[in-house]
């Protein structure tokens, strides 16, 4: 198989990965990655596609991407424990943001729990799915969609500037694997780094509850100041109140 004219073996060698499945078009790279993992695919197996016809995000959201508009990929990892999985989407954002700033004219900001923004517009999203064997993950699939160009049919989205998919992929893979190797809760240094890039801090939220965003915790929880005090939310989506 090939992706952007690169055969799988050459791409795997270039990226230092055990296996790459490059596809011109696919329903979802996530589904392919899970299927390969069932068959025993090693940690570091990558599925990357030029087009997705049934891509998915959090809360069951689905979308279609046009060929060449984005970097669409899922990476299989096999952590030995669940330690750190609850903060992995945030940790991925922290590792990816400085890498992607090579192709942006403004800082990359992070929106809890899994989005990256530039200048108030969405640039990328992360989706993590785990398959379990008892109390520990058998594997995790790390899905990532990065806009290379701002999709015209998605209001509020933006893309990178002067980026090629091949160059972005070469920079993104080491960042993703480094984040996946980290264990434990977010460190004070990571919390500080997130605070510097926090897209939502100080804004009023309508979801997951009405309140003002005050940051995140080391456990990856969203902190909202509500009329009854600061509340921590581990799951859900963050939406802003209309003012």
CATH code where residue 114 lies:
3.30.930.10
- At a CB cut-off of 8 Å and minimum separation 6, what does 29 contact? 23, 47, 48, 49, 52, 55, 72, 73, 74, 143
pLDDT for 54 beyond 90: no
Beta-strand relationship, 62-63 and 121-133: unpaired
> Could you tell me the strand order of the sheet in which 222-226 lies?
229-233, 222-226, 211-216, 204-207, 239-240
Kindly state the average pLDDT of the residues 34-55. Answer: 93
CA pseudo-torsion sign 170, 29, 145, 218: negative
On whether residue 195 sits in a domain, the answer given is no
Confidence at 152, pLDDT banded by 50, 70, 90: low
Tokens 């069932």 belong to 38
Residue ranges making up the domain that contains 209:
200-240
* Range name among 19-33, 57-71, 149-163, 195-209 with the lowest pLDDT average: 57-71
Closest CA to 141 of 125, 155, 161, 126: 126
Contact 119, 126 (CB under 8 A): no
Domain membership flag for residue 194:
no
Is pTM, for the whole model, over 0.95? no
- Is position 115 within any domain? yes
């Amino acid at each position: 198989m090939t992706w952007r004219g690169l055969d799988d073996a050459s791409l795997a060698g270039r990226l230092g990965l055990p296996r790459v499945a490059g596809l011109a078009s696919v329903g979802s790279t996530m589904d392919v990655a899970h299927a390969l993992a069932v068959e025993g695919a090693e940690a570091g197996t990558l599925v990357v596609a030029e087009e997705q016809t049934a891509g998915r995000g959090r809360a069951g959201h689905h979308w279609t991407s046009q060929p060449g508009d984005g970097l669409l990929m899922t990476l299989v990892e096999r952590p030995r424990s669940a330690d750190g999985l609850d903060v992995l989407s945030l940790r991925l954002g922290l590792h990816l943001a400085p890498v992607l700033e090579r192709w942006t004219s403004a800082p990359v900001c992070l929106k809890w729990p899994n989005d990256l923004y530039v200048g108030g517009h969405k640039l990328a999203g992360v989706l993590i799915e785990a398959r379990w064997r008892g109390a520990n993950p058998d594997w995790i699939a790390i899905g990532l969609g990065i806009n290379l160009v701002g999709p015209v049919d998605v209001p509020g989205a933006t893309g990178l500037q002067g980026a090629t998919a091949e160059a972005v992929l070469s920079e993104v893979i080491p960042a993703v694997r480094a984040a996946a190797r980290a264990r434990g809760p977010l460190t004070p240094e990571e919390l500080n780094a997130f605070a510097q890039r926090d897209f939502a801090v100080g804004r009023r939220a309508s979801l997951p509850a009405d309140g003002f965003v005050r940051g995140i915790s080391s456990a990856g929880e969203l902190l909202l100041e509500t009329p009854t005090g600061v509340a921590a939310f581990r799951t859900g989506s963050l939406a802003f109140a209309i003012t």
